[in-house]
Structure 1
Amino acid sequence: MNLNQLKYAVEVAQCKSINATAHALFISQSTVSTTIKDLEEELGIVIFNRSNKGITLTKEGETFIHYANNIMQQYYLLEEKYGEKKKQKEHFSISMHHSTFATKVFARIVKEFGLKEYEYSIYETKTKEVLEQVGNGKSELGILYISSFNQAYYEKVFKNLNLEFQMITEYDVYAYVREEHPLAGHDIIKLEQLEEYPCLIFDQDENSSFYFYEEIISAYEYKNIIRTSDRATTIDLLHALDGYSIGIGMVQEEKSVNGIIAIKIDTDEKINVGYLMRKGHPFSPIASRFLQEFQKSNLPFEQEEC
């Protein structure tokens, strides 16, 4: 039994005529008749009743055509997705630290290149997974925030994984708080002023080095910590608990986002923003375009969004 036999049988069942089937498939009537006869002999059943009034299905034939039709539908789906004549969509994927900033650039690229010829993936995830996903090719690019505290450690990791990090620019460090936070009226604050409030940090794997924490000033001993896994939860807790999180601020024209503002922290530490790639792997056109926009968007500005 082969696909052609199933195809002819399904078509005969639909057309209820050998002649009509032959015309529909652009083959001879004898080819259809011989194929159906060989199929019935091979299976040891009678699929069709033949008479002067036409062709009808036997009871066994109805069951057989039900299964044959399901097989052919799956075949057509496979042919549509993987057939040689159909151009496959290209795929663009990035993995990154939690950042609305990079997400906005990604959205602009999707709008520019469209959905007709591309499939897209964006993974906002843990540091270890960013490294793994770029290393194994699941993502073409990774977006990381690195500080002077963990830079040397990262460089060793990149070398071991055959990855390369390109810094784009350097930022001051900001604390994100709600607009009504007791410290909201300050232009600049010291870390000591934040000690009584909970610090919201993004959770990493329990086996990951503390150097992998996204929060800058990782060597600082936070007094009160709440771990979260996504930005939506973090924003909710910033409002509910007068907590704070650490990052690179807001986009210059946006003084507040979702009721959250950014206050500069008085520290000499800086945040290096850049992209991660596999060594020796050229960029796809869409990845190159993303980096152009990403670099353009990373020109020095006052603050970036939570």
Structure 2
Amino acid sequence: MKLTQIYYALKVAENGSMNKTAENLYISQPTLTNAIKDLEEEIGIRIFERTSKGVILTREGSTFLTQAQELYSQYENLKYAYGGKRQLKTKFAVSTQHYTFAVRAFEKLVSSYDTLNYDFAFRETQTKEVIKDVASHRSDIGILFLSKYNKKVLKRLFDDYNVQFHALYECRAHVYLASDHPLAHHQTLTFDELLPYPCLSFEQGETDSAFLAEEILSDHHYPRTIKVNDRATMLNFMHALHGYTLCSSIIEEDLNGKENVIIPFQEDPEHPNQNMQIGYILGKDHQLSELGKQYIAIVNTLFTKK
């Protein structure tokens, strides 16, 4: 087993593509393919599953690369410590659904460190990408939620990608809309009251399955819908189009704007409310790093303030 082979395998897992990895490393695809094949034969497992869209880690491959990543990191640390180069930066990355509390926690974490000595990354992305980022070691932690509706599908994805969910906070669905919305003065809001207005939600890629939605109560049918890709656009449509979205009760007002309000969703027999269990995912064989522990501690602090 060679360090070069391990490096190639880590990069393929990060990119999810043999072609892209070969291009980025400036090597031919046959060279890369043969290196991975030789490594798989030597260790006696299949690291990657080939698909029409690229490659994904097998369960055995994810376990192997978890240990291989530690080995390669030690090698890089030695190289930088004794190779006459500057010290290797510590890396920490979070992938998340679109949550302002996740942004605020990351901001608080990073502000306590000298960014000269760290490589930080924060990715607001689609649900499946959160899972894939953690599985491929692109991110240390993934933030998302489970509900009665999506739990079965997401737990199957967690098993497929060899990641594990850890619950942090549970709440009920709320309606988020502009303070000048015609319904903004209500104490609670029902499904029927929301019908005349567009429901805003984040796109989830090619599948765009309701099971992968970032919004709670995605199993209900909304006659007026608008899909967006980013939080800024959603906030704009909330004001310009009297749109609304369904979310948790955890909102950092100064990040989204204080000109918005959050109102509890009032269930009825045909449109029941649901519990929203917010948590984080890690690789099944991973433990939180020191930075990870600090990040989750900050998240928990934000939850307790609500």
Q: TM-score, normalised by structure 1?
A: 0.68
Percentage of pairs with the same residue: 30
Cα distance between partner residues in 2 of 1:243 and 1:186: 15
Structure 1 position 212, deviation (Å): 0.3
Which one of 262, 267, 274 corresponds to residue 269 of structure 1? Answer: 274
Cα distance between partner residues in 1 of 2:154 and 2:300: 21
> Equivalent residue for 1:279?
284
Cα distance between partner residues in 1 of 2:282 and 2:144: 11
**Secondary structure in structure 2 of the residue aligned to 1:218:** coil
Correspondence list, 1:70-219, <5 A: 83-219=83-219
Structure 1 position 146, deviation (Å): 2.1
Assess, with a 3 A threshold, how the Cα gap between structure 1 residues 244 and 81 changes in structure 2: closer, same or farther. Answer: farther
Cα distance between partner residues in 1 of 2:252 and 2:96: 22
Q: Which runs of 4+ in 1 moved over 6 A?
A: 79-82
Structure 1 position 159, deviation (Å): 1.2
Cα distance between partner residues in 2 of 1:82 and 1:227: 52
> Equivalent residue for 1:220?
220
Assess, with a 3 A threshold, how the Cα gap between structure 1 residues 86 and 222 changes in structure 2: closer, same or farther. Answer: same
* Aligned AA (1:193): E
Q: Is the 8 A contact 1:92 1:120 kept in 2?
A: yes
**Secondary structure in structure 2 of the residue aligned to 1:188:** coil
Structure 1 position 219, deviation (Å): 0.8
- How many residue pairs match? The answer is 222
Structure 1 position 207, deviation (Å): 2.3
Q: Is the 8 A contact 2:80 2:87 kept in 1?
A: no
* Aligned AA (1:280): D
CA RMSD of superposed structures (Å):
2.2
Structure 1 position 280, deviation (Å): 0.9
> Equivalent residue for 2:249?
249
* Aligned AA (1:134): V
Cα distance between partner residues in 1 of 2:296 and 2:260: 28
Q: Is the 8 A contact 1:82 1:88 kept in 2?
A: no
> Equivalent residue for 2:294?
289
**Secondary structure in structure 1 of the residue aligned to 2:144:** strand
Structure 1 position 260, deviation (Å): 1.2
Structure 1 position 121, deviation (Å): 0.4
Q: Is the 8 A contact 2:100 2:251 kept in 1?
A: no
**Secondary structure in structure 2 of the residue aligned to 1:298:** helix
Assess, with a 3 A threshold, how the Cα gap between structure 1 residues 252 and 289 changes in structure 2: closer, same or farther. Answer: closer
Structure number, greater radius of gyration: 1
**Secondary structure in structure 2 of the residue aligned to 1:189:** coil
Q: Is the 8 A contact 1:169 1:300 kept in 2?
A: no
Note if 1:236 corresponds to 2:236: yes
Assess, with a 3 A threshold, how the Cα gap between structure 1 residues 102 and 252 changes in structure 2: closer, same or farther. Answer: closer
**Secondary structure in structure 2 of the residue aligned to 1:116:** helix
Structure 1 position 289, deviation (Å): 0.8
> Equivalent residue for 2:303?
298
Cα distance between partner residues in 1 of 2:210 and 2:158: 16
* Aligned AA (1:257): G
Structure 1 position 286, deviation (Å): 0.6
Summarize deviations over 1:57-102 as a string: whole Å, max 9, x none: xxxxxxxxxxxxxxxxxxxxxx999954421111100000001111
Summarize deviations over 1:229-281 as a string: whole Å, max 9, x none: 00000000000000101111355987x83411111101331111100110111
> Equivalent residue for 1:66?
none
* Aligned AA (1:181): H
**Secondary structure in structure 2 of the residue aligned to 1:123:** strand
Cα distance between partner residues in 1 of 2:143 and 2:212: 13
Cα distance between partner residues in 1 of 2:253 and 2:210: 34
**Secondary structure in structure 2 of the residue aligned to 1:155:** helix
